[in-house]
Amino acid sequence: MKKRKWLIPVLAVVLVIVVLVASVAIKTLTFTSKQLSVSAKVSYPVNMDQAAGHLSNAIQFKTVFNVDTSKVDYSQFTSFQEYIGKAYPLVSSTLTKQVINGYGLLYTWQGSDSQKKPIFLMAHQDVVPAPPEGWKHDPFAGDIADGFVWGRGAIDDKGSLISILEATEYLLKDGFKPARSIYIASGFDEEVTGQQGAGKIAEYLKAKGLQFEAIFDEGMIVTQGDVPGIKTPVALIGTAEKGYLSIRLTAESAGGHSSMPPKQTTVGILAAAIDKLENNPFPIRMTGPAADLFEYAGPEMSFPYKMLFANMWLFGPVIESELASAPGTNATIRTTTAPTMFEGSQAENVLPAKSTAVVNFRILTGDTIQSVTDQVKSTINDPRVKIQPITESANEPAPASSTASWSFGILNKTIREVMPDVFVAPMMMIGSTDSFKYIGLSQNIYRFLPERLYGDDLDMMHGMNEKISIANLGEMISYYIQLIKNSDH
C-alpha cells in the first residue's frame, strides 16, 4: 500500500482552518456590549415655549467674530450678555459672574463641599458669518417655524449655551444646591482661534491653581447611519482632539518671460512636492480613540461587521482599507494632509520668481508637530523647496481622556438616561474646539454636543438654513440638568 504523503499536510491545513474559524467565532460571541443599562427615559418639565424664545432672541444678536478684529461689532456681544442677565435672573443673582478680557464669561456656582473637584461646562457665544442668500429664514431673525428654531448659532453653539443656562435656571428654581462647584465658561472667538476668549479664561483659571474633575465642551454629536452596521443613533464622544499644523512650502528662481520657460518652474517644483505628499500619506494607526470607537460600537453592529471588528487581529487590513476609502473615517485613523493654498506669478505670461503653497495637517494622537515636519522634509526630499512650519497657529494633539474614568461613566450614564435609544461610543475629534485651551486644567476633557444631526444635517452647522428642533432643544436642556445632577456626588 502506497503511503499517502499528502495526508498530513492536508490534515494540518484543515486543523488550522478549524482553529481559525473557532477562534473567530469565540471572539465574536464574547464581543459583548459596553452600553449602560437604564431603567427609564429621564426628562424634565421645562417650559419649552420660553426656552425656544430665549434661543430665538439669542440668535438675533449678531455675535460674529472675525480674524480682522476691526470688523467685529463688540456691541452685539455686550447686548447679548445683557440679555442673558435679564433672561436668567436666578443665574444672575446666585452665580458669581466674571467678565474676562472684555467679553469672555465665567460663572461660578459654589458647591458646599470644597473637597470635591468642580466640573466645568463650556459653550461659545460667537458664530460664523451668514450671508442671507439662500436661507429659508433670515439667519439672524431667530424665526420659530415648523417645530424648529432657525438661525445662525442654533446648532453651533448658542443652542448649547442656552441649554446650559436653561438647565441652571431650572435647577435653581427647583431648589437644587450642588455639593460640587460648577463653572460655566463662554468664549467669544472660538470660530477664529479661541485665544482671546477661552485662552484668556484658561490663563485666569490656571493662575488660580484650579483643577477640574471634568471639562465638558461641544464637539461630536448624535449621528445615525454613519457608523457601519448600526442603524440606531450613536452618540459620539470626543475623547481626544487632533493637533493642527500648517506648513508653508516655498520655491524660488530667477523668474523671466513665459516664452522661455526652464524645465521646471517654481510652480512645477511645488506641484511635484505636493504630489509626493498626497501620494505618501501618513500611516494608519488603529490605536487610542480610533480603537475605542470600535470597542464600543463593534458589539452593537450587525453581522458581518461585528465579526470583523471583533477580530481585528485577522481582518485589520481589510477594515483599515475600508476606513481609509472615505474622507470622514480616514481622518480618524491617520494624520491627514490637505494642500489648501497656492500662489505663483501675478501675470499669465510671467514666470514666478517665487511660488508658495500651504499644506494643512491635522495631527493624530501619537504624532507631533516635529514628527510631521520631519516626514514632510523626508517625503519631499528636494533642496529647492523651503519647508517652514507656521508655528503661530500650530497645536500638538490633545491627550486622550480615559473611557475608564468616573467622568466618562457619568457622561455615558447621562446620555443613556436622556436618550435611551442612543448607543454611546468614544471617538477622535477631528475638528478644533475651545477645550484645547483648557488642557492642563483636567485629565478628563470630553467633547459632546447632545444634538441629533442625521444625514445632511451637519451641512447646516456653518452652512445655510441652520436650525434645531424644539424637541431636540428640550433633550439638550434635560441632558445638562441630568449631567449636573449625576456629577454631584
Determine the Cα–Cα distance for residues 154 and 57; give it in Å rounded to an integer.
Answer: 11
Classify residue 328 by its DSSP letter: H
Q: Is 157 a catalytic residue?
A: no
The answer to whether the CB of 231 falls within 8 A of the CB of 297 is no
Using CA atoms, how far residue 315 sits from 25, 319, 331, 374, 485, in Å, is: 13, 6, 20, 31, 42
Identify the CA nearest to 448 among candidates 426, 467, 463.
Answer: 426
> Which residue has 430665549 as its cell numbers?
54
For residue 51, what are the contacts with CB-CB under 8 A and spacing of at least 6?
A: 162, 163, 166, 473, 474, 477
Secondary structure element (H or E) that encloses residue 18, with its range: helix 7-29
Cα–Cα distance between 174 and 78 in angstroms, integer? 29
CA dihedral 323→219→458→310, nearest 10 degrees, is 30
Give the active site residue among 166, 169, 189, 190. Answer: 190
Q: Which residue of the set 126, 169, 191, 367 is catalytic?
A: 126
Ranges of beta strands (E only) in 345-439 are 350-351, 354-363, 386-389, 423-429
CA–CA gap between residue 137 and residue 161 (Å, rounded) = 22
190 assigned to active site = yes
Q: Catalytic site residues? A: 126, 190
